[in-house]
Structure 1
Amino acid sequence: MSYLFPTYARWEVEVSHAEGSYLYDTNGKKYLDFVSGIAVCNLGHRPKKVLEAIEEQLQNVWHVSNLFQQPIQEELAEILVRHSSGDAVFFANSGAEANEAAIKLAKKYTGKHKIITFQKSFHGRTFLTMTATGQEKVQEGYGPLAPTFEYLPYNDVEKVKQLQDDSVAAIMLEVVQGEGGVVPGKKEFLQAVEQKCKELNALLIIDEVQTGIGRTGKPFAYQHFDLDPDIITVAKGLGSGIPVGAMIGKEKLKAAFSPGSHGSTFGGNYIAMAAALATVKEIFHPAFLTEVKDKSTYFQQLLEKTLNNTSGFELRGLGLMVGIDCHQNVNDLISTLREKGLLVLPAGPNVIRLLPPLTVTKEEIDQAVAMIQETLLKVSEPSLQ
């Protein structure tokens, strides 16, 4: 009997400890972890500098509330601003909270009410961000949803150009749809969305919860496409496993979030700030990001070579966020890989999602690709087996 709500389809794995790119279960089995806590442990498990920062902060103060000046918040906010197109930061505890703040801010600043998102998007599981998510399976069973959301097809430039609605407060999107199948946005589409925001006097919100903090080889994924968003949301990779989220916005938006307009009891607490500050100092270093790009190229080229010899699979992604569309249900494939000692995720029913830590080595990439090749060959055309 479990005393937990059955909200998760849990694997039959109980983790004992973790280090770097590896998890170890209570039976002593070792797993190469290409889940990374769902794009959270970007520096691998228990990174030394983050651990030291947390331990040092634990000796001083844990929590005082946001009524007090907290210089560590200012230090982290300055780094996030310096590496993005934003000017001010609001700290939350998760990606859903950061997206909730972004939607509230867009409505309050513009005085308008409609938010445009995209089919197969994922923005969170609070009532508002669940409504923003363009997937019926996430919304089923909850009755009438929050009003004034509209969903357009992703990567459809013409549908964006046809949009004419003065009530639109913001258009919100992921540069790479994660839960929707690891689908990168096309540059023409993303830039068309930005142009449409200007035409409608609406804000551009980019959800970088999964793609941000170095995952694609840049601090934020939108930077691959010459975009200038009004609001950026981030969470997963920001705290190396300590819960933290952030909304980054333009200077013009600051007045709309005056005292009392929004808040969070635990948002920006000292422990989360210590973890996040140590994380971004490491990841945003140019040499580190250069290594991520190099390993991303190596990983994708090796997978392409492997899949060229294996029928019926399609590779897509950006940086170290990679999907293999198997054009069939992948649950059994993921289970087989787990038995072999490689942890991967689904992204929808037919896609294997690969999210290695940004610190992954090329040797670990080789090991993972070998296990993937062996597993996929068993379900490819008989002539290739």
Structure 2
Amino acid sequence: MTAACLMTTYQPLALSFTRGLGTRLWDQQGREYLDAVAGVAVTNVGHSHPRLVTAISEQAGLLLHTSNLYGIDWQQRLAQRLSQLCGLDQAFFNNSGAEANETALKLARLHGWKKGIEQPLVVVMENAFHGRTLGTLAASDGPSVRLGFQRLPGDFIKVGFGDLAALDAVTREFGPRIVAILLEPIQGESGVQLAPPGYLKALRAHSSQHGWLLMLDEIQTGIGRTGTWFAFQQEGIVPDVMTLAKGLGNGIPIGACLARASVGKLFTPGSHGSTFGGNPLACRVGCTVLDIIEEQSLLENAARQGERLLARLRVELSEHPQVLAIRGRGLMIGIELATPQRDLAERAAREQGLLLNVTRGKVIRLLPPLTLDSKEVEMIVRGIVRLL
């Protein structure tokens, strides 16, 4: 139940946690839970990692904020690290995924302005989710998130996710006005929908051919979630723009937009900004997260345990009448159900001590920390089998 002093934007479970460690959380009564949500793909290196505790404590005693009126060493370090990992050249830091996507959309507008396009359009995907600002709502899909927010910016054309014929059709109709494509490599909020093999390569080629920016929203898939640093790396391409958030800060708010140098330089002093974006605390945490993932080989672990979890679920649920599909990559897995099970997350917590997410009422979404081990894989599988 939501407290009366809070706006009713959420419907939280009657459950509150007091501490966490690794893949586990403990509630106010001291009961232990296995966390297969990770704050919706945020705590990738687990709760209360000692390296992060030390980094946060030390930085809090040194310097939290100066603003971008001055150089920030940790910001420069994090930008360099991310650029080396993803193959893009420049970074802009802000506080959230929605802000990172707004940054990308502003770059798309500037790209069109530079080309003399007065009414630029961005191609987006059906069933996408990019955030809750007015701009990112317009780029998203689904009546539930848009209800009551009419007259959204109309600078977007929606096509079916994975539908190259639809892309060809809008290219013929609107091609001279299109400046970019924005999409998630794997659609998370719509139920872990994977792009068909070769789709991102086709979009890369199409964008290059027409002079569009290929912009990838890796807010949920990035920072190791799918078994590589970024999901696009599994397709052998590099986008023009990429957005990050969630796992980059492991719970400390941070967002990032990375771009090729030719795109990043479209911003000039005063054309964009963020008061808190890229502050010393957030960027030191970001650097520490990257260190932990590298030192603990968490990319390899996410790929290995994700394959194990996917395989075990398919074996145990292969003939279950309620299960329509099981899909995923790395530790981003969705189980699509035949009928909505809106109380499933509550029952999982109460009966199994298992925290999971149910999106759109009928897709169980599993997003555990990248530190998950084989015993915990079995615990998740057993818990879901008992629930269904």
Aligned with 1:163: secondary structure?
helix
Which residue in 2 is equivalent to 1:214?
224
Q: TM-score, normalised by structure 1?
A: 0.95
Q: How many pairs align?
A: 376
What does residue range 1-385 of structure 1 map to in structure 2 within 5 Å?
2-111=4-113, 112=117, 113-164=120-171, 165-285=175-295, 287-313=297-323, 314-339=325-350, 340-376=352-388
Runs of 4+ in 1 over 6 A off after TM superposition: none
Seq. identity, %: 36
Note the C-alpha offset of 1:8. Answer: 0.5
Note the C-alpha offset of 1:286. Answer: 8.3
Note the C-alpha offset of 1:198. Answer: 1.8
Cα pair 1:21 1:44 within 8 Å, conserved? yes
Task: Flag structure 1 segments of 5+ consecutive residues without an equivalent.
Answer: 377-385
Code of the aligned partner of 1:136: P
What does the per-residue CA deviation read over 1:247-271, in whole Å, with 9 as the maximum and x for residues that have no partner? 0100111321111010000000111
Cα pair 1:14 1:26 within 8 Å, conserved? yes
> Structure 2 CA distance, aligned partners of 1:352 and 1:304?
14
> Structure 2 CA distance, aligned partners of 1:92 and 1:285?
26
Assess, with a 3 A threshold, how the Cα gap between structure 1 residues 173 and 286 changes in structure 2: closer, same or farther: farther
What does the per-residue CA deviation read over 1:307-362, in whole Å, with 9 as the maximum and x for residues that have no partner? 12423411011110000001210212222212121111122221000001001111
Assess, with a 3 A threshold, how the Cα gap between structure 1 residues 285 and 79 changes in structure 2: closer, same or farther: farther
Cα pair 1:35 1:344 within 8 Å, conserved? yes
Task: Flag structure 2 segments of 5+ consecutive residues without an equivalent.
Answer: none
Code of the aligned partner of 1:352: I
> Structure 2 CA distance, aligned partners of 1:346 and 1:230?
33
What does the per-residue CA deviation read over 1:151-191, in whole Å, with 9 as the maximum and x for residues that have no partner? 11111121123232111111000010000111011123222
> Structure 2 CA distance, aligned partners of 1:284 and 1:186?
29
Code of the aligned partner of 2:327: R
> Structure 2 CA distance, aligned partners of 1:30 and 1:54?
25
Aligned with 2:86: secondary structure?
coil
User: Which piece of structure 1 moves more, 233-242 or 275-284?
Assistant: 275-284
> Structure 1 CA distance, aligned partners of 2:170 and 2:150?
27
Cα pair 1:161 1:196 within 8 Å, conserved? no
Code of the aligned partner of 1:271: L
Which residue in 2 is equivalent to 1:383?
none
> Structure 2 CA distance, aligned partners of 1:15 and 1:334?
15
What does the per-residue CA deviation read over 1:5-61, in whole Å, with 9 as the maximum and x for residues that have no partner? 000011110111111111111122211111100000001111111111111111111
> Structure 2 CA distance, aligned partners of 1:201 and 1:373?
49
> Structure 1 CA distance, aligned partners of 2:384 and 2:240?
39
Cα pair 1:173 1:206 within 8 Å, conserved? yes
Code of the aligned partner of 2:269: P
> Structure 2 CA distance, aligned partners of 1:117 and 1:309?
36
Cα pair 1:57 1:270 within 8 Å, conserved? yes
